[in-house]
Amino acid sequence: MTERERVEGMLIENRLSELRDTQRTLETVETTLESLRETKWTLVKELRELGHDFRATTEGMDVVLSSPPSMNWNELS
């Protein structure tokens, strides 16, 4: 094995290790993100049931615009 082949092999192993670490980190972040989204929509639903009108504020409109298509904002209940 040449020096170049040895160095390339080490670089490949290093990159594969970095890829594995990145994949594990992404899986953790995706799980956390999914949980946060569930919490967000639970809170939105509860607030709507309490009569809060998200269309009345800029921050609320951010919620409206990021909501799933199935959420009907014409009904306040």
Domain that residue 60 falls in: 3-66
For residue 77, is it within any domain?
no
pTM of the model: 0.71
* Distance, CA of 51 to CA of 26 (rounded, Å): 37
* Distance, CA of 77 to CA of 74 (rounded, Å): 9
E strands, the chain, are none
Mean pLDDT to the nearest integer, 15-31: 98
For residue 76, is it within any domain?
no
Q: Is the pLDDT of residue 77 over 50?
A: no
Tell me, rounded to whole angstroms, the distance of Cα 1 from its chain centroid.
Answer: 45
Into how many domains does the chain fold?
1
**What's at 43, amino acid-wise?**
L
56-74 confidence digits (pLDDT tens): 999 899 999 999 888 888 7
Structure tokens at 28: 């953790």
* Distance, CA of 41 to CA of 28 (rounded, Å): 20
